[in-house]
Amino acid sequence: MKSSPASPRGAGVGLRLQHLSEVATRRPPAAWLEVHPENFLANPHAAELLDEIARHYPISVHSVGVSVGSAGGVDLSHLARVKKLIERIEPIMVSGHLAWSTHDGDYLNDLLPLPYNWESLALIADHVNKVQDALGRPYHLENPSNYLGFDQSVMTEVAFLSELVARTDCRLLCDVSNVHVSARNLGYDAYRYIDEFPADAVGEMHLGGFVVEDEEGELPGQVLIDTHSRPIDDSAWDLYAHAVKRFGAKPTLIEWDNDLPEFSVLLGEADRANQVAAEAVSQERREDVVAR
């Protein structure tokens, strides 16, 4: 399997179509950029701009259409199209979600959850192996943001991801904001989740904004929705510092997809991620010295 080019240190930003021309022509100082390949597969003009941008920035490819959780299998023709794009821009990483979004050939515009049991584990491990074989490189799987749990689950999400790493040798993308959102929505400890996460497999981290909504009905309360539409919340920055202490300062992406601000705002969030990571690393070193 082909190894990816060396990962950059520090935080990058998600590159959405609205910022494509600006980045191609003005080349703002981003450490690296992450793109959704699906935005470029049927858009020749955008693909041309991406080819130009890839000559100047490290690029990470984050698929929203490779559905490893689909019971009907992964779409090999979609994978072939993603592979073509990958071969052109030589990304530093390739990633996607632990979720499903297709059924019987229909593409749903959502990342849907699945139960964590032995049956789904065998299915997804088989699909991840197929994805890695087809792309010829490691695939980074991202933990989802959860709004419900399944009675059919027999293990935690972390145990499920650890088993997937053991069975497929895939890498993991730890979305720290998703950990916070899921932990709040399902009532578990986000810090413990990070402590138990298979640190050696982490190749990338994500940070994104979420909104808090009041839930009505039988079980009123608050639900956190992973909208990628706001600045990173302080609770997620705190959890990110904890994750950096545990995983090291891995390439981290600022994800912002809706109500997109000026590109400079994204760069500001990336600067903050670099500051939080640097402080966490030096704090970890000081604690290490004191412990010895």
Is the four-CA dihedral 225, 230, 233, 237 of positive or negative sign? positive
> Measured at CB, which residue is nearest to Fe ion?
206
Cα atoms found within 13 Å of the Cα of residue 193, Cβ hemisphere only: 26
Backbone angles phi, psi at 43, to 5 degrees: -135, 85
Between 49 and 266, whose beta carbon lies closer to Fe ion? 266
Residues in contact with 153: Cβ distance below 8 Å, sequence separation at least 6, in sequence order: 115, 116, 117
> Please, which of residues 96-135 interact with Fe ion by CB under 5 A?
none
- Kindly give, in sequence order, each residue whose CB lies less than 8 Å from that of residue 206, ignoring residues fewer than 6 positions away: 142, 173, 174, 175, 176, 177, 178, 252, 253, 255
CA distance 85 to 97: 19
Tell me: does residue 269 bind Fe ion (CB under 5 A).
Answer: no
Q: How many residues bind Fe ion (CB under 5 A)?
A: 2
Of 27-35, 80-88, 195-203, 205-213, the segment contacting Fe ion by CB under 5 A is 205-213
Among 175, 204, 233, 269, binds Fe ion (CB under 5 A): 175
Q: Residue for token digits 């071969």?
A: 87
Of residues 38 and 175, the one with the C-beta less far from Fe ion: 175
Tell me whether residue 49 or residue 206 sits nearer to Fe ion (CB atom). Answer: 206
Applying CB under 5 A, which part among 31-39, 85-93, 202-210, 268-276 lies near Fe ion?
202-210
Q: Which is nearer to Fe ion, 175 or 233 (CB)?
A: 175
Give the residue from 155, 242, 171 showing the smallest Cα distance to 203: 171
Q: Which of 19, 206, 245, 250 binds Fe ion (CB under 5 A)?
A: 206
Q: C-beta of 176: minimal distance to Fe ion in Å? A: 9
**Of the listed pieces 146-154, 163-171, 199-207, 237-245, which binds Fe ion according to CB under 5 A?**
199-207
Judged by CB under 5 A, the stretch of 30-38, 82-90, 169-177, 278-286 that binds Fe ion is 169-177
Residue 99 beta carbon to Fe ion: minimum distance, rounded to whole angstroms = 11
* Binding characters for Fe ion, 228-267, by CB under 5 A (x = yes): ----------------------------------------
Quick one: which segment of 66-74, 107-115, 159-167, 168-176 binds Fe ion (CB under 5 A)? 168-176
Which one of the spans 158-166, 203-211, 237-245, 256-264 is the region binding Fe ion (CB under 5 A)?
203-211
Query: C-beta of 205: minimal distance to Fe ion in Å?
Result: 9
Structure tokens belonging to residue 1:
């399997």
Q: How far apart are CA 207 and CA 231, in angstroms?
A: 9
DSSP string covering 27-82? ----S-EEE-GGGTTT-HHHHHHHHHHHTTS-EEEE-SS--TT-TT---HHHHHHH
Choice between 24 and 177, CB closer to Fe ion: 177
Radius of gyration (Cα) for the chain, nearest Å?
Answer: 19
Q: Which is nearer to Fe ion, 130 or 206 (CB)?
A: 206
Select 49 or 236, whichever has its Cβ closest to Fe ion.
236
Residue 258 phi/psi, 5-degree rounding, is: -120, 155
The nearest distance, CB 281 to Fe ion, in angstroms, is 22
Beta bridge partners of residue 11, listed in sequence order:
252
Strands 93-97 and 59-62: parallel
Q: Name the residues that contact Fe ion, by CB under 5 A.
A: 175, 206
